[in-house]
Amino acid sequence: MGEVFAGRYELIDPIGRGGVGAVWRAWDHRRRRYVAAKVLQQSDAHTLLRFVREQALRIEHPHVLAPASWAADDDKVLFTMDLVSGGSLAHLIGDYGPLPPRFVCLLLDQLLSGLSTVHAEGVVHRDIKPANILLEATGTTRPHLRLSDFGISMRKGEPRLTETNYVVGTPGYFAPEQMMGAEPDFPADLFAVGLVALYLLQGRKPDSQALIEYFAAHGTPGAPQGVPEPLWQVLAGLLQPDPQARFRTATGARKALTAAVEMLPDAGPDDEPVEVFDQIGPLPDGFGPDGPVSAPQTPVQALGGAVGAGQTSPPQQPLVAGQQAYAPPPVSMSETGSFHLAPPPRHPTPPPRPAQPYTPPGPPPAHPGAPLTTAPDPAQAPTAPARHGTVPTRAYTEAAPYQGPAAVPSAPAPRTRPGPPRVVAVPVLLVALICFAVGIWALTQT
């Protein structure tokens, strides 16, 4: 399994590399789908500011591949986009070389459609080139183009992140005014679109500098070899060195392209169909169409052990028609991180025994050949009719009713006389007599 970024994005394998970061195929654990994740390589303030500016762009259009979300983890940041697996226009030219004019017009129409939405948001792309124009893996059906990589794009009126007289972009796709250090504007993007169209029609990178010099010296040249004249008139309007003589909007260029397509010859029956292949390749081991694939585990393996010596696995119960085989539930971790115990093994239930008739025992025969006689069964005797009424009391309960446990006789307690003990009473009486005698003697002396 790959590295999980910010607890959500699992990086699987690198699929490309840009100017400021590598592009990975990743699995979004929250949305349960594969995405393309662009991871920042550098952490300096200048590159990080460009990164933040690109991920802040939110444009919804079928032919625009803008960032969808972003995340940060320690000193790394990334943003994600839809995963486009058909490669870029550079891959397509590498597979087929020059493309048929009608196929080029279809791609050019989609590119101008997406660019018109980008310009409507006030954004100048500034880096339109074949490597930044991606394709869905549509096979031989209608192609689907996506304009991507807004790393150096900017809104009109925003402060520039480069120094004065410093050109940003890809050499060979600059507009003449960009080389002069002019402020980025929409016609500069349209000039790059014209160069991309020539690249698709001729199968090689055009010499933009020689083309600009020829336009400046001799005006609009004739149509190059392999380019139909109606289509060249549209491309010449995109490639004018003077931005004032160029198409001003992508919508205007798209309308002119639609009119030119009506004058193009139809595709011949011998023309080879253009197929857009899957350029990313199969998923690595451990990943499937629905995300990471975990190897199935038995309950014994999940508990960290196996059947040891002398232990046998539970017997398998034979299946009955219409009954499904018992499958133990998958062992998963609880919310506290502990493992759930596996269910106890199911033992087979023995089949019920057939009922046997009861045969009462009887005396053995007296001798061989004597007829077997059986004693009458009391249980089979006729039952006397029950009498209803007052039930008489049994004799043993009437004669000696229950009185409870018999009392055990106890020894008589010793009798005690009231008053003080004799040892105390005798001295007290003597003292009282002495006092009485003294009192009488005192009375007789007076």
Which residue among the candidates 28, 44, 127, 189 is catalytic per the annotation? 127
| Cα(9)–Cα(183) distance, integer angstroms | 38
Task: Give the helix ranges, DSSP H, for 219-355.
Answer: 229-238, 250-261, 299-302
Q: Is there a contact between 225 and 191 (Cβ–Cβ < 8 Å)? A: no
In eight-state DSSP terms, residue 97 is S
DSSP output for 335-365: TTSPBPPPPPPPPPPPPPPPPPPP----PPP
Can 377 be counted among the known catalytic residues?
A: no
Query: Which tokens belong to 388?
Result: 């209803």
What distances in angstroms separate CA 78 from CA 26, 321, 352, 354, one per listed residue?
11, 56, 67, 74
Alpha carbon separation from 405 to 279, 368, 402, 408 (Å, rounded): 102, 62, 9, 9
Which 3 state secondary structure label does DSSP give 112? helix
C-alpha span between 101 and 330 (Å, rounded): 57
Contact (Cβ atoms closer than 8 angstroms) between residue 102 and residue 232: no
Give dist(CA 17, CA 131) in Å, integer.
Answer: 11
Tokens for 401?
């009713």
Widest distance between CA atoms in the chain: 180
Mention every residue, 6+ apart, whose C-beta is less than 8 A from residue 327. none
| Amino acid found at 349 | T
Q: What distance, in Å, lies between the first and last C-alpha atoms of the chain?
A: 133
What positions carry a catalytic annotation? 127
